[in-house]
């Protein structure tokens, strides 16, 4: 599957850790940053794929599951460590679910919002990747 876990460098300190996101860690130029928060535990986010855009999802707080599908294989990745990010490359359907209370999901994206880059219908996604 066209995904990768990215280890985010951290500095550990008895006063609290610092995670460092620099251009050497991210395999793309960041053009957009957004975050999900106050997501009810029963809610589902995502429900789309990107044709060109890459995204790195980082769980700043709490945990959530990312259900991924490349048209052939389905895989669930649980994100629950703020020094581990999930890089989702092109043509991967994603759904986010099972948010714990207080979860925050930071998303670093390789492009600005472009509606034409989204595939929002799962059947259309399956047609696109075949």
DSSP for 30-50, written as a single string: --EEEEEES--TT--EEEEEE
Could you tell me which of 38, 40, 42, 36 has the C-alpha nearest to residue 59? 36
Catalytic residue among 32, 45, 48, 84: 48
* Helix-then-strand count for the chain, H and E: 1, 12
CA 69 to CA 95: how far, in whole Å? 9
CA 19 to CA 38: how far, in whole Å? 22
Examine the residue annotation and report whether 48 is marked as an active-site residue of this protein: yes
CA 77 to CA 119: how far, in whole Å? 21
Residues designated catalytic: 48
């Amino acid at each position: 599957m066209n995904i990768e876990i990215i280890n985010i460098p951290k500095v550990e300190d008895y006063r609290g850790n610092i995670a460092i996101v620099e251009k050497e860690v991210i395999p793309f130029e960041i053009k957009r940053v957004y975050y999900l928060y106050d997501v009810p535990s029963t809610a589902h986010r995502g429900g789309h794929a990107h044709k060109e855009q890459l995204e790195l999802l980082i769980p700043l707080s709490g945990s959530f599951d990312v259900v991924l599908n490349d048209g052939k294989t389905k895989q669930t990745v649980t994100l629950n460590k703020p020094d581990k990010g999930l890089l989702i490359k092109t043509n991967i359907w994603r759904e986010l679910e099972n948010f714990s209370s207080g979860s925050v999901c930071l998303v670093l994206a390789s492009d600005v919002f472009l509606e034409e880059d989204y595939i929002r219908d799962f059947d259309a996604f399956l047609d696109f990747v075949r």
